[in-house]
């Protein structure tokens, strides 16, 4: 559908162990199909303390995919709260990342 409608892809990946593999394979598959991957967003799934993978995933992905803008989106307690989501988007830089 993305190809048919000419849409860009914003890839959202859970920021945890294994996300590097997930992100790299998905970006490769999307690009192989001629899709434009616009950005990569690592999302936190809980308020749990960061571990080694969550502390290094963003930096590593930026090194492995230097042409792809990337950010980390924080955990939001109330995912239906539009104001909280907008504040998280501003704080993470996601809003700036997606501007033309």
* pLDDT tens, residue by residue, 57-81: 999 999 999 999 999 998 888 889 9
Helical segments of 33-81, H only: 52-64
Q: What distance in Å separates the CA atoms of residue 64 and residue 95, rounded to the nearest whole number?
A: 23
Specify the 3-state DSSP secondary structure of 49.
Answer: coil
Q: What distance in Å separates the CA atoms of residue 6 and residue 54, rounded to the nearest whole number?
A: 32
> 46: pLDDT confidence band, cut at 50, 70 and 90?
confident
Q: Which residues contact 7 (CB under 8 A, 6 or more apart)?
A: 1
Q: What distance in Å separates the CA atoms of residue 92 and residue 74, rounded to the nearest whole number?
A: 7
Mean pLDDT of the chain: 91
> 49: pLDDT confidence band, cut at 50, 70 and 90?
low
CB 37 within 8 A of CB 11: yes
Mean pLDDT of 34-56: 87
pLDDT (0 to 100) of residue 42: 95
Q: What distance in Å separates the CA atoms of residue 55 and residue 97, rounded to the nearest whole number?
A: 21
């Amino acid at each position: 559908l993305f190809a048919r409608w000419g849409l860009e892809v914003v890839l959202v990946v859970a920021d945890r162990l294994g996300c590097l593999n997930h992100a790299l394979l998905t970006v490769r598959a999307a690009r192989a199909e001629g899709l434009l991957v616009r950005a990569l967003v690592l999302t936190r799934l809980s308020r749990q303390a960061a571990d080694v993978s969550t502390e290094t995933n963003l930096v590593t992905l930026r090194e492995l995919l230097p042409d792809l803008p990337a950010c980390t989106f924080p955990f939001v307690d109330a995912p239906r709260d539009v104001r909280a989501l907008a504040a998280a988007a501003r704080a993470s830089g996601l809003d700036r990342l997606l501007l033309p």
